[in-house]
Amino acid sequence: MRGISAWSALVTAVASVAMLGVQAEEAADSKVVSLTQDSFGKFVNDEPLSLVEFFAPWCGHCQALAPQYEVAAKELESEKIKLAKVDCTQEEALCSEQGISSFPTLKVFRNGSASPYTGPRKSEGIVNYMVKQSLPAVSDVTEINLEDFTSKDSFVVVAFAEESDKTTRDELRQFAEDHRDMYVLGVSSSKDLAKAQGVKFPALVAFRKFDDPRAKYQGKGKSLSTDEIKSFVVVESLPLMDEISAENFLNYAVTGTPLAYYFVDPASPKLDDDVKKLTKVAREFRGKVNMVWIDATKFSSHGKALNLKGDSWPAFAIQDLKTGAKFPLNDLGKDVASSVRSFVSKFASGKLSPSLKSAPVPKQTSPVIDVVADEFDKWVFDDSRDVLLELFAPWCGHCKKLAPTYEKLAELYAADAQASKQVRVAKLDGTENDIPPDADIDLAGFPTIVLKPAGKNSREFIVYDGDRTLESLVEFISTNGKHHAKVAISKDSGSAKHDEL
């Protein structure tokens, strides 16, 4: 999803928080077990579930994690889940055996069997993640254990279904297996317990430590489908309005639901009041957008990436996480809630057009067409031509190295009477222009080269991953373009030095 990549800067910024001064000297009451080559095997093999951190004392991220890890270890003691650590500057052989290439690396072990840890790095997140790992994918829930089970996490879902309802139970188990790192799920066949929760078979009840403490879904048929389970769990698992950070961003990203950001200075005296009012707006559009607030002073660059001006707060923007489409609202007026409600309503009803950042329309002075966002359709979505498009950055060394070869490529097609009508060679500055949402191009780095074959309403983009030579580029166009256009490469055309993508 294109919208996710915009958060790389956010993750980096949060991870680079000021170090907490944790040194090698360990607290006397530490519950984190220090492992060596001699003790590692026995520890991970004997423990049914454990978490091991591989670290280096000089690593800044390890230092930031250390106090969070200590708190988590103490809290997990009651769950009989042990946390351990390995100093890779002292245990080089052990860390090499475990394939450790960066710090910190965390692994979950079940009686010696390892799997990557993919959870948060804050104590609460670590605790929640490991508790979920300790539970069955779906737990049996009764009147006796309901209270204890629903206290396992800040969000717990119990399905109510007949013992004979194999469809609901199978669908729930499959969903639980696919999402066991994220949700705590249970099932109950008690009609009395269902009645006490105000539901009938089949149904879902969410128990939460935020917003309304309970949310219910009454099944429409005899059994619950995967879509019913997923829709309910995904929507109800997120607070109506919460601060977003690197710690919880993925919780929103995996839903695929558009993300609506309220950019605000956290020192603003109106923050609490505005968030309270916006929470009501968020409830109105539950399931259509996920609404969050974000520290505008810390993440102003993210605001600019969403095409906000970035010099005046508060501001608001919606981002389609699937397409990357951006919908900024710079002027919120005096009534923030009213402005946001109107804006989100238009978005939800499809009445807003995405904002596209575009460089000024240039004069075309080269065989390589200089594309900007405002003219993307004109030059790239040309049904009559195969269009080779390079997305570049002015500062990119590989792009600069490719430039002479790319210019020569364009000259070859422009000089051929037939090929000039069949092929267009173009480029777009990816730092000054947004990619239109209907152009399915994943810009993962520079340069990115794609081919849009000719054809009525053709929107397919084929990624080029070959050599950056004239011969390879010409062959790529000939093989993948609709016209299969070919041009001759004369000896004096030269060829760029072989350079792998």
DSSP readout, 362-402?
PP--SSSEEE-GGGHHHHTS-TTSEEEEEEE-TT-HHHHHH
Q: Give the rounded distance of the alpha carbon of 245 from its chain centre.
A: 12
Number of CB atoms found within 10 A of residue 101's CB = 9
List the catalytic residues: 59, 62, 396, 399
- If you ran DSSP here, which 8-state letter would residue 85 be given? E
Alpha-carbon 462 to chain mean position: 24
Query: How many residues would you count in the chain?
Result: 501
Q: Are the C-beta atoms of residues 413 and 481 closer than 8 Å to each other?
A: no
In which element (H, E) is residue 51 found?
Answer: strand 50-55
At a CB cut-off of 8 Å and minimum separation 6, what does 261 contact? 244, 292, 293, 294, 302, 303, 306, 316, 317, 318, 319
CB 231 within 8 A of CB 175: no
Q: Are 459 and 438 in contact (CB under 8 A)?
A: yes
**HEC secondary structure over 405-465:** HHHHHHHHHHHCCCHHHCEEEEEEECCCCCCCCCCCCCCCCCCEEEEECCCCCCCCCEECC
CB-based contact 386:423 (threshold 8 Å): yes
Are 15 and 298 a contacting pair, CB within 8 Å?
Answer: no
- Name residue 340's amino acid: V
Pair of tokens at residue 77:
């003691």
**CA atoms of 32 and 30, how far apart (whole Å):** 6
Q: Cα–chain-centroid distance for residue 432?
A: 23
